[in-house]
C-alpha cells in the first residue's frame, strides 16, 4: 500500500521560515531510516503558498488565483510518498518523525493512494495498459 504523508503548513512555513540545521539533520537521519527500511518512495518540502497558484474549474472555464492562500491549516508544507504494509505501519513511522515545525504545534496527515485495483471495472484493460506505459515512461526519465 502506498501512502501520501502530508506535512501541514504553519504560520512560520507560510512566512518562508527555513528549517534549522538541527531539524535538517534530524529529518535527514529519519529519511535514511525510511529508505533503508524500503518505505520512502519520494519526499520534498514545498515553497510557501505565496509562490504558488490555484486553478479553479467551473465547467469549461479556468480561473487562476495566485497565492498566498488564507487558511494556513489547510495548506501543505511538504510530503512523502511511502510504501507501507498498512495504515497502522504508516502511523507508526509518522510517530517516529521529528516534529517538522519545532516551536509550533504541527500536524501530519496520512492518506492512502489509490491503486489500479481500487477502481474496479471502470478501469478497463486499455486504461490499465495506458497507466502501465506511462509509469514505465516515468521510470525511464533521469
- Whether the pLDDT of residue 73 is over 80: the answer is no
Give Cα 35 to chain centroid, integer Å: 16
Give a yes or no: residue 46 inside a domain: yes
Overall domain count for the chain: 1
Any domain includes 22: yes
**The whole model's pTM is what?**
0.89
pLDDT average, residue stretch 12-40: 95
Nearest to 13 by CA among 65, 73, 54: 73
In a domain, 140, yes or no: no
Cell matching residue 49: 503558498
Cell of 38: 524500503
Q: Is residue 51 part of a domain?
A: yes
Is the pLDDT at 141 greater than 90, yes or no? Answer: no
- 72 pLDDT more than 80: no
Residue 76: name the closest of 140, 12, 3, 14 by CA.
14
pLDDT in tens, 29-63: 999 999 999 999 999 999 999 999 999 999 999 99
CATH number (domain holding residue 17): 3.30.70.1060
pLDDT in tens, 81-107: 999 999 999 999 999 999 999 888 899
Q: Can you give the residue range of the structural domain that contains 47?
A: 2-114
Q: What is the pLDDT of residue 104?
A: 86
| Stronger pLDDT, 69 or 142, i.e. the higher one | 69
Cα gap 44→109, rounded to integer Å: 15
Q: Is 82 part of a structural domain of the chain?
A: yes
Q: Can you count the helices (H) and strands (E) in the chain?
A: 4, 6
Residue 126, domain member (yes or no): no
Q: Is residue 49 part of a domain?
A: yes
Indicate whether 29 belongs to any domain.
yes
pLDDT(124) > 90: yes
**What is the pLDDT, as a whole number, of residue 111?**
98
Cis peptide before 70 (omega within 30 of 0): no
Amino acid at each position: 500500500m502506498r501512502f501520501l504523508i502530508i506535512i501541514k503548513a504553519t504560520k512560520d512555513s507560510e512566512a518562508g521560515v527555513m528549517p534549522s540545521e538541527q531539524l535538517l539533520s534530524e529529518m535527514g537521519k529519519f529519511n535514511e531510516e525510511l529508505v533503508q527500511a524500503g518505505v520512502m518512495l519520494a519526499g520534498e518540502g514545498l515553497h510557501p503558498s505565496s509562490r504558488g497558484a490555484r486553478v479553479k474549474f467551473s465547467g469549461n472555464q479556468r480561473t487562476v488565483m495566485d497565492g498566498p492562500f488564507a487558511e494556513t491549516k489547510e495548506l501543505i508544507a511538504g510530503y512523502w510518498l511511502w510504501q507501507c504494509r498498512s495504515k497502522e505501519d504508516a502511523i507508526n513511522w509518522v510517530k517516529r518523525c521529528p516534529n517538522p515545525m519545532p516551536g509550533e504545534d504541527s500536524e501530519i496527515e496520512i492518506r492512502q493512494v489509490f491503486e489500479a485495483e481500487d477502481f474496479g471495472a471502470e478501469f478497463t484493460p486499455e486504461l490499465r495498459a495506458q497507466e502501465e506505459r506511462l509509469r514505465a515512461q516515468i521510470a525511464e526519465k533521469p
